[in-house]
Amino acid sequence: MILKNLNSLLSKIEQARLDYSPHHIVKLVAVSKYAQSSMIKEAFNCGQLSFGENKVQDLSTKKEDLKDLPIRWHFLGTLQENKINALIKLKPVLLHSIHSVKLANTLQERLQKENLRLNALLQINSSREDSKQGFSPEIAKTMFIKIKNECSNINLEGIMCIGANSEDVKKIENSFVITKNIFDSLKNYGAKILSMGMSNDFEIAIANGSNLVRIGTKIFKS
Ligand SMILES: *Cc1c(COP(=O)(O)O)cnc(C)c1O
């Protein structure tokens, strides 16, 4: 089942990226928050190397379960202050969700203490939904540069957004266009990763320049 889901998903991603540009490469992070370790192992055996979790405890458990596999673990959830130390010790390859200067500063302090570095993205609330975390589009660029300059143990590699929660394709598109424009304005400041697109909107996200999609349901729950 997972093999079939992955094959069908990969061919859709492939088509979407070719439609955007043959030079455009899109990375897939399999969001395994709904999946047990055995299912992650099954996906790994199909060739999927990168997985994402949104709870520190789940990341810890699954990473331990699967420690024999060279999985690249991403963290995508809202990170609570009291979980920062635990997350840092798990050494995720990328934290997608720095949503405030306070979080960045606390992360910096803890990383410095442990003499560790962390690759991360700024989360942008480009759909302006109260239920979503993230920097508002107006301040995103300034905050990216500020955190880049002030938090030397955080390696800011780009930005992330969650598409508008809407049936209206135009609204979803608009949230991706806003994020892409911010991303373009940050290229001179080291932004390389544009993380946007989930099971229901990844094709729209790729059509608007996403180079990393985070997909769970379509792999593990269909
Ligand atoms: C759950 C989640 C995803 C994956 O969503 P699906 O709709 O299951 O593909 C992507 N990004 C974040 C931040 C998530 O929490």
In angstroms, what is the span from residue 155 Cα to ligand 1's centroid?
23
* Phi (first) and psi of residue 35, to 5 degrees: -105, 145
Residue 194 pLDDT exceeds 90: yes
- What b-and-e string marks burial along 167-199, b requiring 16 or more CB atoms within 10 Å of the CB? eeeeebbbbbebbbbbbeebeeeebebbbbbbb
Element (H, E) at 50: strand 50-53
Mean pLDDT of the chain: 97
Position 170 scores a pLDDT of: 97
Angle CA 9–72–102, to nearest 5: 105
Position 213 scores a pLDDT of: 99
Tell whether ligand 1 has an atom less than 6 A from the beta carbon of residue 132.
no
Position 222 scores a pLDDT of: 79
10 Å CB burial of residue 35 (0-12, 13-18, 19+) is buried
Position 71 scores a pLDDT of: 98
Q: Whose CA is nearest to atom 12 of ligand 1?
A: 76
Token pair, residue 49, equals: 């190397």
- What b-and-e string marks burial along 124-161, b requiring 16 or more CB atoms within 10 Å of the CB? bbbbeeeebbbbebeebbebbeebbeebebbebbbbbb
Task: Among 48, 54, 99, 196, name the best residue to mutate to test ligand 1's pocket (greatest count of ligand atoms within 8 A of Cβ).
Answer: 54
- At 103-161, the pLDDT tens digits run 999 999 999 999 999 999 999 999 999 999 999 999 999 999 999 999 999 999 999 99
Q: Which of 49, 58, 3, 55 is nearest to 30 (CA)?
A: 49
Say if CB 186 and CB 159 are below 8 A apart.
yes
Query: In whole angstroms, what is the distance from residue 112 CA to residue 85 CA?
Result: 12
